[in-house]
Each structure stands twice: as structure tokens, then as C-alpha cells.
Amino acid sequence: MSAEPESPANRLEGLALTILFAAISSGLLAVIGLATRASAKGGWWTQPWLMPGIALGLLAVANLVTLWRDLADLRRTPPTDAEKVEGRAALVAWLRPLEFLAYYGVYIYSIQHAGYFPSTLVFILFLLWRVGLTAPRWILAGIGLSLFMVGVFRIGLGVWMPVPELYRLFPEALQTPLIRWF
């Protein structure tokens, strides 16, 4: 649940979203014959395509209704130039989460090679820097959060992680606690 209500969504952005959903649902519905298999045996109610067919049919209809509604609204009140600019900016904003998810992907990759604690620490500190939280108290908070994660999940709950290559470089006496807890 988002804490604060966001400003009303841009209508052109909404239209783009609806077109995208309508295309995906129609596409999925179109390939139902390939993606599921009909059976000559059994009654109609047991056919594997029935439930996906109902769900996708409902999805396609709901998307078409939304599309029709959006188009009618835009015909009634054509978008202003400012709205068009805002719509384009909103579409570009869809890429913003992708940036953070790209960092997240690198984080997941690094866990398998550099270990959970070092990766988490670097990931948290990097994200804090990226979102502009660079004051010393945020760095301390980030370090605290990393230690909290390790304390609760690795040491406390014993969540297993693959053995990273980095830990293999340490002396043998250190390897066991590093692999087990960090």
C-alpha cells in the first residue's frame, strides 16, 4: 500500500498501459491452442484450455472496455500539449524501476561470488549513495542494516547461501565462520 496518494495518472500513459495489456492478453488468448492441449477424452469441463480461456477472455474483455473508455474520454476532452509532454515523461519514468532492478541483478550475481555480507553491504551503501543519502548517519544506518540482515537471517535463522569464491581466498580457519554466518 502506498503511503501517500499519488497525483492522478496521466491519461495518455494510462492509454499506453491499456494498449499494452490488451495486446498481451489478446496475444495470449490467440496462442491458447498452442499453449494448452485439447483432449478428445473426457467432458468439456475437464478440457485443459477451459480455465485459461475463461481467464484470458475475461482479461481481454476488461482491457477492451478500459481501452474504449480511455479513448472515449480522450475524444471528449482531447489532451493538451502539457499533458502530452507529461505523458511522454511518465512513459520514460517506467524505466526508473528498471535502473534499480539492474543494480539488484548485479547484487544477486555478486552474492554468489563475493558472499552475502560483503555484497549486501556494498549494495546498501551504493543504493543510499544513488538516492542521495550520503550523510555519515546514513552510512552508519546502512552498515547497521547490513549487520542486522546478517544477524537475523544468516546467524539467527540460518538461511543457507551458496559458497562464494571470495571466501575461499581466506585462510581455512576463517572460511568456516565466513561461509556459515556471512
Partner 1 sequence: MEFLWLGLQQLADPVVFFTMCIGAILGVVVGAIPGAGAAVTISILLPTTFSMDPLNGMTLLLGVYCGAAYGSAIPAVMINTPGSPVAVLTALEAKPFVDRGEARRAMSLAYSSSFVGGVLAVLALMVLTLPLATVAKNFGSAEFAMVAIAALVLVIIGHGGRRVEATAALAFGLFLATIGIETAYSTQRYTFGFLTFLNGIPLVPMVIGLFAMSEALIQLTSRSTVHPVVQLKGHFFQGFMEVFRYKRTLYGSSFFGIFCGILPGVGEFLAQQVSYVVAKRFSKEGHMFGKGAPEGIIVSEATNNAVPPAALIPMLALGIPGEELTAMMLAVFLVHNVIPGPDLFVTRPEFVAGLYWTLLFMNVVIILFLLVATNTIAKAALINKRFLGVAILTLSLIGTYASGYRFSDVGIAMVFAVLGYILRSHRWPLTPILLGVVMGPIVENRMRQALGGANGDLTIFVTRPISGIIVAALAILIFFTLRGWLKGRKPRQDWQINDT
Q: Indicate whether 71 belongs to the interface with partner 1 (CB under 8 A).
A: no
Does position 13 interact with partner 1 (CB under 8 A)? The reply is: yes
| 37 touching partner 1, by CB under 8 A | yes
- Binding segment toward partner 1, per CB under 8 A, in 76-84, 116-124, 165-173, 174-182: 116-124
Among 3, 72, 82, 169, binds partner 1 (CB under 8 A): 3
User: What is the C-alpha to C-alpha distance for residues 21 and 90, in angstroms, rounded to an integer?
Assistant: 17
Closest by alpha carbon to 107, among 147, 146, 154, 159? 146
Question: Cβ closer to partner 1: 142 or 167?
Answer: 142
Query: Taking CB under 8 A as the rule, does residue 15 contact partner 1?
Result: no
Q: Which stretch binds partner 1 (CB under 8 A): 7-15, 76-84, 163-171, 172-180?
A: 7-15
Using the contact rule CB under 8 A, the part of the chain among 73-81, 134-142, 165-173, 174-182 near partner 1 is 134-142
Q: Does 76 bind partner 1 (CB under 8 A)?
A: no
- Please say whether the dihedral angle defined by the alpha carbons of residues 173, 151, 126 and 136, taken in this order, is positive or negative: negative
Q: Does 39 bind partner 1 (CB under 8 A)?
A: yes
* 54 touches partner 1 (CB under 8 A): yes
Q: Which of 19, 86, 112, 175 binds partner 1 (CB under 8 A)?
A: 112
Residue 33 binds partner 1, judged by CB under 8 A: no
